[in-house]
A and B are shown apart, each in its own frame.
Chain A
């Protein structure tokens, strides 16, 4: 596709300590179009945050290092940009919201000034104009303008996250990366913040890369989803592909692990075992150890990417088997009942 805003190709990131290397991200590729929102889903240690930091070249080095791949943004490879060019991108063209709003704000600066400072950093604006614009941003995210001169500790968690969103959007970036933006918040506040992100995304026509472990959040905000496991994207597609036509055993496992509000299941079906040790990843499929479908072929060679239907990518040799399996049928039946 030509109208891709961001294109990540074969990104490899490793963290080294002494002789061991943690294979955090192992050759992942994905793209985001203008105005698209992509959910990057995975559990702790899957490499989601590392991917986001790599896009912005914010990986602490050492120990981390981007060992290969390209991050193409607006036709430029960000990995080859000089640091000064990168500074122009960060916070201006691509901005990021972090999980913990409590520690992302400067405690000794008023929230209004923090927004204004970001604006002045990237735009040639007088102090006064920046302050006016900052006040507008505050009101846009649902905080009364008179709270401009208050300090972060006077705000609740949800309000702080709103301030973070205001800072992130203050320079009208074309891509917003949100790293678990609602994980630290209560559900009712999470709903408010998600609605806000959605609304602003539409208003500003911003693309969104939403990183989360919560499949529910992705279903609510995103159009496409990528499921990450052990530093790889194992399944990619639009919501219908991922939620209705699940093809990767790990994605299936995730769905079956979540207790569902709308139905009663006596026992959950957890994915057995634990994530593969990222310092010693197996040759073949990293999920093979925990996979109910695996056979000898899975553990031998690297797994290629299949495209069973247009736009639905899956990294599994057994996808056709899974498509016809009982487990999948059961899953579909369950879903069918629920909709009925």
Chain B
């Protein structure tokens, strides 16, 4: 399959009063057409910033974003407009991502109006109706306001808005985190159906490990702005090569009383990546950390076919 999106050494730094914040540092990945890349990590690991850099809601500090064989991170706003249609985003919070003063139909129609995709209001209405069918929203809700609907329906509005421009690629930023599990399953199924039917490519950002496993082809684990592990989804769970990946997977509670988590929880907490010293960013919390970890940055290396890890001690830990 063809590459659809690629980033090369993507960097996004923010200047803060306390120093430079390395939100995304040297991130490279490839997403093939029709596949899903899951991006996991805890809050503050830079996964949302990364997603926003890809769709140009943030300008990148350094590095490149390639979409269909073209570098797009430095296009002018006008030139980027054409890519807007292809690259859309679904947001986390179905309560704040919809303008409370607009009706459901207005929200879904807005992209079509901006990009002048419908000749007249009849055609616009028909398109909006179709989109509502596609995401499973009853048409009688067209003139409702978002606050009158529950979280699941609101998230469907967000999905319909993203689909209205016929995108190829969608960044999904925690699309189900704010939803109850039964509704979450409905939305996940919907997103999978849409992916198959419309041949969509997803970048799926989440902190929920079981969700990311369910939906992704490849998984990228991030920690403090860097990629620590990148591999096909089953491999991440089977080999869990990086110590942080191990800790993250172990920490997730399992709904099964026979499988009680009986391990040392990860010590310490994630800190903001501000003015970092050299060395592995996870070293301070890592049980395997050795002298080298505190002096030089580990690079992402391929240890098994398609399985990349950034850890000096990968071989030692995993007995490769």
Contact = CB atoms under 8 A, between A and B. Distances in A.
Decide whether A and B are members of one complex: yes
Interface of A: 43-44, 156, 158-159, 186-192, 194-195, 213-220, 239-240, 243-244, 253-262, 264-265, 267-272, 274, 335, 338-339
A127 B250 CA distance: 43
Contacts of B249: 261
Contacts of A257: 181-182, 184-185
Contacts, number: 121
B42 A188 contact: yes
A161 B207 CA distance: 19
Given A43-B181, A268-B188, A219 B247 contact: no
* Residue of A187, A192, A253, A335 with highest tally of chain B CB at under 10 A: A187
A211 B151 CA distance: 21
Contact of A186 (B152, B181, B186, B270): B270
A259 B260 contact: no
A261 B213 contact: yes
Nearest to B192: A267
A216 B253 contact: yes
Contacts of A159: 269
A44 B180 contact: yes
A274 B181 contact: no
A254 B256 contact: no
Q: Top 3 A-B pairs ranked by shortest CB distance?
A: A216-B253, A270-B185, A259-B214
Contact of B254 (A219, A268, A270): A219
A215 B182 contact: no
**Which of A188, A195, A214, A215 lies at the interface centre, i.e. has the most chain B CB atoms within 10 A of its CB?**
A188
A156 B215 CA distance: 31
B210 A261 contact: yes
Contacts of A259: 185, 188, 210-211, 213-215
Nearest to A338: B256
Contact of B186 (A192, A217, A270): A270
Nearest to A221: B253
A317 to B, nearest CB: 21
B209 A261 contact: yes
Interface size class of B (residues with CB under 8 A): 35 or more
B291 interface: no
Contacts of B210: 258-261
Contact of B261 (A156, A220, A258): A220
A254 B189 CA distance: 15
B42 to A, nearest CB: 4
Contacts of B188: 259, 268
B214 A186 contact: no
B17 interface: no
A244 B258 CA distance: 10
A288 to B, nearest CB: 15
B237 A214 contact: no
B123 interface: no
Nearest to A255: B255
Nearest to B257: A239
B258 A339 contact: yes
Interface of B: 42-43, 150-152, 180-186, 188-189, 192, 207, 209-211, 213-215, 234, 237, 247-261, 265-266, 269-270
Contacts of B261: 191, 220
A187 B248 contact: yes
A244 B213 CA distance: 24
B214 A265 contact: yes
Contacts of B265: 188, 191-192, 195
Given A243-B256, A259-B211, A158 B251 contact: no
B174 to A, nearest CB: 13
Contacts of A156: 269
A189 B150 CA distance: 29
12 contacts: A43-B180, A191-B266, A218-B255, A219-B255, A220-B260, A243-B257, A270-B185, A270-B186, A270-B189, A274-B150, A274-B152, A274-B183
Contact of A213 (B150, B152, B181, B214): B181
Nearest to A261: B210
Nearest to B285: A188
A43 B186 CA distance: 15
A186 B207 contact: yes
Contacts of A188: 42, 247-248, 251, 265-266, 270
Given A213-B180, A258-B185, A259-B214, 19 more contacts: A43-B182, A44-B151, A187-B251, A188-B42, A191-B265, A191-B266, A216-B255, A217-B253, A243-B256, A256-B185, A257-B181, A258-B181, A258-B210, A258-B255, A259-B185, A260-B210, A261-B237, A261-B254, A274-B183
Nearest to A214: B253
Contacts of A214: 253, 255
Contacts of B207: 186-187
A229 to B, nearest CB: 10
Contact of B189 (A217, A218, A261, A267): A267
B253 A194 contact: yes
Contact of B269 (A187, A189, A215, A217): A189
A258 B176 CA distance: 12
A189 to B, nearest CB: 6
B40 to A, nearest CB: 10
B315 to A, nearest CB: 24
Given A43-B181, A268-B188, A268-B189, A261 B256 contact: no
Contacts of B254: 216, 219-220, 261-262
B153 to A, nearest CB: 8
B182 A253 contact: yes
